[in-house]
């Protein structure tokens, strides 16, 4: 199989013409998000360009500290993004969310690279792309799970207070909300797995095929990474919700939402 075709800058620039279609439809439908689309496209382009330059340097000058630093940066950014979407939760809950994202994410990445792939856990060529996919999906799942949990509690505040007044224990009241939120956090990943290979070829597999990797090899990697992603999303969401909800009530069984 031949390697990937290298695009010239002028060829790459043509892709931005497609945004004109999106802008036209948004204007036609009176959707006032044109500035956001332009800003998002600009930021994405700048951030990915900078990431490409940094990764090029790291790949050409591999060092364990570079790999650890980049993985730590990705993990920290994922945690900050989740917390920024849930600013009004207490400090203990935030701390639990941070640990629930970092610990399972890093352990599964190490297992994937070191055991499944059989490469060094400091190899940036494997650790950084795999870490990015895992942490990116974990960030989305944890954000969705915690956000759903909070919104459900606020929406059912009167019902919760009524149950407390009737003598129900906080864990019995809150656990159904936790289970529902965990299911919500897992659904996007599971739906993606259901349609994979039929509805769409996922990013990792597409990239490997474009670079000349045999489809059979790309398939094995893609299956492995999706199972790893599902596991980390589940563990991080579970940890955030099942340990986090306990910070919402005190020894007197008073719930503080």
Could you report the per-residue pLDDT of 165-220, keeping only the tens digit for each?
A: 887 888 888 999 999 999 999 999 998 888 777 666 666 666 666 666 677 777 88
Nearest CA-CA partner of 94 in 80, 108, 105: 80
- Is 75's pLDDT higher than 70? yes
Per-residue pLDDT tens over the stretch 24-60: 998 888 888 889 999 999 999 999 899 889 999 998 9
d(CA 123, CA 63): 8
Torsion (CA) 216, 222, 225, 231 in degrees, nearest 10: -110
Hey, where are the domains in the chain? 1-61, 63-248
3-state helix, strand and coil shares in percent for the chain, rounded to the nearest 5: 80, 0, 20
Using the 8-state DSSP alphabet, how is residue 192 labeled?
H
Ranges 5-9, 94-98, 171-175, most confident: 94-98
- Check whether 2 has a pLDDT greater than 70: no
Q: How long, in residues, is the chain? A: 257
pTM of the model: 0.84
With CA atoms as reference, report the closest residue to 138 among 228, 48, 44: 228
φ, ψ of residue 200 in degrees (nearest 5): -150, 150
């Amino acid at each position: 199989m031949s390697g990937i075709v290298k695009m010239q800058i002028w060829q790459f620039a043509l892709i931005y013409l497609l945004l004109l279609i999106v802008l036209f439809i948004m204007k036609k439908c009176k959707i006032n998000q044109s500035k956001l689309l332009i800003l998002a496209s600009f930021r994405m382009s700048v951030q990915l360009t900078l990431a490409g330059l940094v990764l090029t340097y790291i790949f050409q000058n591999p060092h364990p500290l570079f790999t650890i630093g980049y993985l730590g940066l990705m993990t920290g950014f994922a945690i900050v993004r989740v917390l920024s979407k849930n600013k009004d939760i207490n400090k203990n809950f935030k701390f639990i969310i941070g640990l629930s994202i970092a610990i399972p994410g890093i352990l599964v990445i190490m297992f994937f690279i070191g055991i499944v792939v059989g490469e060094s856990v400091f190899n940036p060529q494997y650790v950084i792309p795999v870490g990015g996919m895992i942490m990116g999906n974990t960030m989305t799942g944890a954000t969705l799970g915690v956000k759903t949990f909070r919104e459900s509690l606020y929406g059912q505040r009167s019902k919760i207070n009524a149950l407390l007044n009737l003598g129900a224990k906080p864990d019995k009241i809150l656990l159904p909300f936790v289970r529902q939120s965990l299911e919500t956090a897992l659904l996007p990943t599971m739906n993606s797995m259901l349609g994979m290979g039929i509805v769409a070829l996922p990013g990792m597999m597409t990239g490997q095929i474009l670079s000349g990797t045999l489809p059979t090899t790309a398939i094995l990697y893609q299956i492995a990474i999706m199972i790893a992603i599902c596991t980390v999303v589940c563990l991080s969401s579970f940890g955030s919700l099942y340990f986090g909800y306990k910070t919402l009530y005190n020894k007197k069984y008073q719930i503080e939402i």
